[in-house]
Amino acid sequence: MIGPEGRVALYYAPADDDPLRAAAAAWLGRDPAGSMSARLPLDGLAEITADAARYGFHATLKPPMRLREGATWTALRAAATEVAAAVPAFPLPPLAVASLDGFLALRETAPSPALQALADAAVAWLDHLRAPPDPAELDRRRPLGRSAAERAGIARWGYPYVFATWFFHMTLSRRLSEAEHALWRPRAQAHFAAALALPRRMMDLCLFVQPAPGAPFVIAERLPLTG
């Protein structure tokens, strides 16, 4: 499924028939399954969404990781399936367009203990398959200003936002200036309004793969929650 330097991740992504998936594809110009989509005809949209499009529309549960030496796709899939088999499907809280440290993202509008527990399980249960981050990854994840908890997360789990520091978000843009934010947030709110008004459930876990460094992330498989 991936090369030796490729990465895998466990994400939430909207179901194939969820209008949110189509709305995100029109915003990002790309579907997480790998196909390109007709982007909204808004000047500048391609530039502010380039990185978000490469990662695919998602919310992170187990952050991207390389497989350790000797670990296999079969073992990864088995571990992810065990997580999915222990958790029943559950409703997601309503989502809304929000600012996240200058980025536009979809955030939940109410806490979800079930969502937090699923993210915790995904991080812990798959970690025995994770290769240690290389120096470049550590440099990217250790900017100035990290909290003590975030630094501890990097040291133990290879990522700053896990367990108590984890938060649900689905990225829609790069970091925006104040003027850009004033322009793009209302546009995003209008574009996603109809899809976000619908209820949705967490029905499965999505295994995403990045076959090689710099390549787009794509959905490899959906694992139903059957607990």
DSSP the chain: ---TT-EEEEEE---TT-HHHHHHHHHHSB-TTS-B-PPPS-TTHHHHTHHHHHH-S-EEEEEEEPBPTT--HHHHHHHHHHHHHTS--EEPPPEEEEEETTEEEEEESS--HHHHHHHHHHHHHHGGGBPPPPHHHHHHH--TT--HHHHHHHHHHSSSSSGGG----EE-SS---HHHHHHHHHHHHHHHHHHHTS--EE-EEEEEEESSTTSPPEEEEEEE---
pLDDT higher than threshold 90 for residue 2: no
pLDDT in tens, 119-168: 999 999 999 999 998 777 777 766 667 898 998 898 899 899 999 999 99
pLDDT recorded at residue 151: 87
By percentage, how much of the chain surpasses pLDDT 90? 83
Domain spans of the chain, in order of start: 7-224
Topology of the domain comprising 7-224: Cyclic Phosphodiesterase; Chain: A, (3.90.1140)
Question: So what's the pLDDT on residue 98?
Answer: 97
pLDDT for res 143: 65
For the cut 90, the answer to whether the pLDDT of residue 22 exceeds it is yes
Question: Higher pLDDT residue, 227 or 2?
Answer: 227
pLDDT, residue 199, reads 97
Whether the pLDDT of residue 187 is over 70: the answer is yes
Q: Is the pLDDT of residue 193 over 80?
A: yes
Give the tens place of pLDDT for each residue, 43-91.
999 999 999 999 999 999 999 999 999 999 999 999 999 999 999 999 9
pLDDT of residue 144: 62
pLDDT of residue 142: 65
pLDDT at 36 exceeding the cut of 90: no
Identify the pLDDT of residue 191. Answer: 98
pLDDT, averaged across the chain: 94
